[in-house]
Amino acid sequence: MKYRTLSYPLSHQSPVHKELLKPSIKPNSQISDGKKYKSYLIQVENHSGTHVDAPAHILPEGKKIADYHPDELIFTDPLILECPKEDNEFITREDIEKVDLDGVDCLFFRTGFGRYRELDTERYLTQNPGVSPELVSFIRKNHPSIRCLGTDTISISSYQKADLGIQAHLNAFQDSWGEALLLVEDLNLEDVDRVAEILVIPWQLESVDSAPCTVLARLE
Ligand SMILES: [Zn+2]
């Protein structure tokens, strides 16, 4: 195998942030009902399932996901960093201190919390580890080659510390430190180690801030 997906398929059972509507995927035309073709009505909030947050998520004048050129969504020096975390812990600067991030353009944190997505969904949604705001600004100031962060948690925001989560998003997007980061949340990072390339492929939606996405990894 040359490629694998690091995103989850979207279904009506996909766990989504508590404040979002549950996805709804309903048959509209069905062959079993005498129609000549099938079609479905799909209603999802754009932050459902594996999705990519762009600056417009938080910043009123921020860049929207459709404003990104394909070149900005392909990463040829990705790193999936082992970063085990328990409930409500934060990924912090100490977690990257001894890591060689020279030239890395996409950094995904594997906390291991992804194992609760199916096993204990309530825990996955309400006890998730977060990324500390301080780490986000540290990365932007000191590792400008990194253009994308991602986690195997429902959000980079810890559900229990929502204010810090908003601050982490703000630090990722605000203009102060050059080009904003993209944030990919709810990634499937199980059983993947070294990857040579990552492609983040958002739904092509006009006008919205962020979008569900497929994430492909080319294996080494
Ligand atoms: Zn989001």
Task: Kindly report the CATH number assigned to the domain that includes residue 51.
Answer: 3.50.30.50
Decide if pLDDT at 75 tops 90.
yes
Query: Is 38 contained in some domain?
Result: no
Q: Give the distance (Å) from ligand 1 centre to CA of residue 175.
A: 19
> How many separate domains does the chain show?
1
Q: Residue 32: what pLDDT? A: 87
Query: Is 35 contained in some domain?
Result: no
Band (66; pLDDT cuts 50, 70, 90): very high
Decide if pLDDT at 68 tops 90.
yes
Q: Residue 74: what pLDDT? A: 98
Q: Give the distance (Å) from ligand 1 centre to CA of residue 155.
A: 7
Least confident of 91-95, 132-136, 175-179, 181-185: 175-179
Q: Residue 9: what pLDDT? A: 97
Q: Give the distance (Å) from ligand 1 centre to CA of residue 30.
A: 33
Secondary structure, 3-state, the chain: CCEEECCCCCCCCCCCCCCCCCCEEEECCCHHHCCCCCCEEEECCCCCCCEEECHHHCCCCCCCHHHCCHHHHEECCEEEEECCCCCCCEECHHHCCCCCCCCCCEEEEECCHHHHHHHCHHHHHHCCCEECHHHHHHHHHHCCCCCEEEECCCCCCCHHHHHHHHHHHHHHHCHHHCCCCEEEECCCCCCCCCEEEEEEEECCCCCCCCEEEEEEEEEC
Mean pLDDT throughout 97-114? Answer: 97
Decide if pLDDT at 176 tops 90.
no
Band (35; pLDDT cuts 50, 70, 90): confident
Q: Residue 193: what pLDDT? A: 87
Query: Is 27 contained in some domain?
Result: no
- Average pLDDT of the chain, as a whole number: 96
Torsion of Cα atoms, 17 then 128 then 100 then 79, to 10°: -50
Query: Is 23 contained in some domain?
Result: no
Decide if pLDDT at 216 tops 90.
yes
Query: Is 212 contained in some domain?
Result: yes
Q: Give the distance (Å) from ligand 1 centre to CA of residue 32.
A: 37
Query: Is 188 contained in some domain?
Result: yes
Taking the model in full, what pTM does it have? 0.96
Decide if pLDDT at 215 tops 90.
yes
Decide if pLDDT at 1 tops 90.
no
Q: Give the distance (Å) from ligand 1 centre to CA of residue 66.
A: 15
Decide if pLDDT at 96 tops 90.
yes
Task: Provide the domain limits for residue 200.
Answer: 3-9+46-219
Query: Is 72 contained in some domain?
Result: yes
Q: Give the distance (Å) from ligand 1 centre to CA of residue 53.
A: 5
Q: Residue 132: what pLDDT? A: 98
The 10s digit of each residue's pLDDT in 134-160 is 999 999 999 999 999 999 999 999 999
Mean pLDDT throughout 201-213? Answer: 97
Query: Is 50 contained in some domain?
Result: yes
